[in-house]
Amino acid sequence: MGYLDILQGMTLEQISAVMEVLQQCSDSYLFILDLNTDVYMVSEKATKRFPFDNTVIENSTQVLKEVVYPSDYAMLKADIEKCTSGEQDTHALEYRWLDRKSRVVWISCRGTVVTGAEGHRLLVGRVSELGKKAKADNLTGLRREARFRLNAESLLRDKPESIRYIMRIGIDNFKEINEKEGVEAGDEVLQELAECILKVVDEKVDVYRLMADEFMVVDAADADFKNPRTVYDEIQKKIANMVKKKEYSRFYTVSAGVMEKDFAGKSAEEILRLTEFTLNEAKRNGRNQMALYHQASYDEYLKRLDMRKALRRAINNQFQGFEVYYQPIVSVPDYQLVGAEALLRWHSQEYGNVSPAVFIPILEESGLIIPVGRHVLWEAAGICKKWQTYIPDFHVNVNLSYVQLYRSDLMKDVEKCINDVGIDPDSLILELTESGYIETNERIKELFRELKEKKIDLALDDFGTGYSNMRYLKEIEAKTVKIDRSFVVQALQNEYDYNIISHIIDMVHSLGSSVCMEGIEEKEELAKMMKTNPDMIQGYYFGKPSPAGQFEEQFLHIKDSL
Ligand code: C2E
Ligand code: MG
Ligand code: MG
């Protein structure tokens, strides 16, 4: 005979007597709720911690309203109603109560419906405090996230102005340590870091360990104030010393995200979210540093997330709103059309026309540039094939992102595209921006060798911006160097830059590559820059980027009528 069977048919008083006996050997609070009469019986222990006036409570739906955290009440009521109506026979919820001092207490409530005397439906069960379970972390001796939530919730509600800062600390390379040196090494690092933090902050300052490798410091202490910048710097120094003492056997650094104000009205959940964002900002900025929370950058981040969602939707919807534009590239000195650069455009209902300078980085961050890049490649190759009926050796330039090089099998895609479309490999030119990675990455070097073998040419894009380096030219053996508009504009304005461009062009020629000059808008600009001896020109003067149909009309159909 099971525990519940014993209760069947008992009166409320009898069950309550059993309950008080059981209560002696449990950490939880036992209860019975008569679903027919709305009478609630709770163990005496519960009345000490929570604002129940009595162990027997009439009209409990009303009374519980005082004990349950206001925004959780509707959820609880709906669940109890299901038990009353017979729709369900068990009750299991995690939600919040308020203790006698109105502090939030997370509880787990579980119960089962039994049929008591007179056929009443009785919900019998227990309430246990979640915080008690996850109170402390054996590894670091710190309190865990569950406790942070509980404490932060009441602090934020009762005394948000007392919070001086909240700092979330994360280890920059924790995964690496665990993977390379084993979990024990990871555990040691966590212990070490916990020690460092505790040594730096006042003992009245609260320190918690969150999941995995993150810690939370909450300063709402009645102690001398040490500002978060100093706290972070000192922690960094302590770690560096520790690492040095152990002869760099286990090298690690930490980043931190800090909130200093505007705590009022926020929930613990929000604090967790905002500090996580800020910590990630510090990591995105290059790790081993501290970032401060700013509402404006968080809003910006949310906007980017929304745009990322819209981009993903558009991609899943057959690339809706994406269109490949083409800008003419002409040869020098005859200004004949020899090719076009494929330039992606995106129009969304929500955002209108979005500049590639905005949406390309979002596609890159999210890896979405891989399917989009494939889409552009196939479109551009298809158009190139079509336009070769007008100009047999017409070529198309397609921009590539480093994400495509690193995270997709680019060689396979390019080969498949060339086969699918049926164009000569040398009709396709892949444009790459210079980047410090090329020199060091073997896989990418291998990719360049393969491309060369397959006779697919590369162009070095954006030359003159960032760190222009002739070595890249050698590394990627670019057939063409594309001089960026910003560099051309400078050369048009001053003699010095003009001379540099002129010399660069000579040098590129002596290395056997050609030069495409971008951004020529006016006749005078053309006249002046022609003297530097470029091989190709791409600029508004000869044509702005336009949709394929318009490009055809403007630049290719003339050929029909010739
Ligand atoms: P980019 O590859 O250097 O492309 C040249 C940019 O210069 C284009 O900007 C083009 O419209 C602009 N331009 C050309 N001539 C002139 C001119 O005479 N005056 C002015 N003011 N601008 C001129 P756009 O189309 O806005 O593209 C910006 C960048 O976005 C591109 O720079 C490229 O890095 C990136 N991008 C565009 N499409 C793709 C794509 O399909 N994949 C990847 N990965 N990146 C792309
Ligand atoms: Mg380009
Ligand atoms: Mg360019």
User: Which of 456, 445, 507, 513 has the alpha carbon at shortest distance from 481?
Assistant: 513
Q: Which atom of ligand 1 is nearest to the CA of 541?
A: 18
Q: Which atom of ligand 1 is nearest to the CA of 343?
A: 38
* Model confidence pLDDT, tens digit, residues 116-161: 878 889 999 999 887 665 555 667 778 889 889 999 999 999 999 9
The ligand 1 site (C-beta within 6 Å) comprises 327, 343-344, 355-357, 360, 369, 373, 376, 399-401, 431, 461-462, 485, 518-521, 538-540, 545
Residue with the smallest CA separation from ligand 1 atom 41 is: 344
In this prediction, residue 381 carries a pLDDT of 98
* Model confidence pLDDT, tens digit, residues 315-365: 999 999 999 999 999 999 999 999 999 999 999 999 999 999 999 999 999
Residue 467's pLDDT band (cuts 50, 70, 90): low
Query: In one letter, which amino acid is 108?
Result: S
- Å from CA of 137 to ligand 3 middle: 54
Residue 7 has pLDDT above 70, yes or no: no
Q: Which atom of ligand 1 is nearest to the CA of 521?
A: 18
* Model confidence pLDDT, tens digit, residues 245-274: 887 778 899 999 999 999 999 999 999 999
Residues 84 and 66 sit within 8 Å (Cβ to Cβ): no
In this prediction, residue 1 carries a pLDDT of 43
- Rounded to 5 degrees, what are φ and ψ at 455? 65, 30
Residue with the smallest CA separation from ligand 1 atom 27 is: 356
- Å from CA of 463 to ligand 2 middle: 10
Q: Which of 364, 429, 518 to mutate for ligand 1's pocket (most ligand atoms within 8 Å of CB)?
A: 518
Could you tell me the two tokens for 88? 């369900």
Question: Which residue would you say has higher pLDDT here, 184 or 101?
Answer: 184
Question: Which residue would you say has higher pLDDT here, 141 or 382?
Answer: 382
Residues 513 and 479 sit within 8 Å (Cβ to Cβ): yes
* DSSP for 299-364, written as a single string: HHHHHHHHHHHHHHHHHHTTTTTEEEEEEEEEETTT--EEEEEEEEEEEETTTEEE-HHHHHHHHH
In this prediction, residue 492 carries a pLDDT of 96
In this prediction, residue 76 carries a pLDDT of 93
In this prediction, residue 136 carries a pLDDT of 54
* Model confidence pLDDT, tens digit, residues 37-57: 999 999 888 988 899 988 889
Residue 472's pLDDT band (cuts 50, 70, 90): confident
Residue 280 has pLDDT above 90, yes or no: yes
Residue with the smallest CA separation from ligand 1 atom 25 is: 343
- When mean pLDDT is compared across 426-435, 483-492, 497-506, the lowest value belongs to 426-435
pLDDT, the chain, mean: 90
- Å from CA of 356 to ligand 3 middle: 12
- When mean pLDDT is compared across 205-214, 270-279, 515-524, the lowest value belongs to 205-214
In this prediction, residue 477 carries a pLDDT of 83
In this prediction, residue 440 carries a pLDDT of 65
Q: What's the mean pLDDT in 93-105?
A: 80
In this prediction, residue 102 carries a pLDDT of 76
What stretch of H or E contains 518? strand 514-518
- Å from CA of 364 to ligand 3 middle: 17
**Block residue for tokens 């461009």:** 501
pTM: 0.70
Could you tell me the two tokens for 444? 């990418």
In this prediction, residue 175 carries a pLDDT of 87
Q: Which of 322, 355, 360, 529 to mutate for ligand 1's pocket (most ligand atoms within 8 Å of CB)?
A: 360
In this prediction, residue 55 carries a pLDDT of 87
Q: What's the mean pLDDT in 281-302?
A: 95
Residue 4 has pLDDT above 60, yes or no: no
Residue with the smallest CA separation from ligand 1 atom 2 is: 399
CB atoms closer than 10 angstroms to residue 302: 11
Query: In one letter, which amino acid is 34?
Result: D
> 170 exposed, middle or buried (CB, 10 Å; 0-12, 13-18, 19+)?
buried
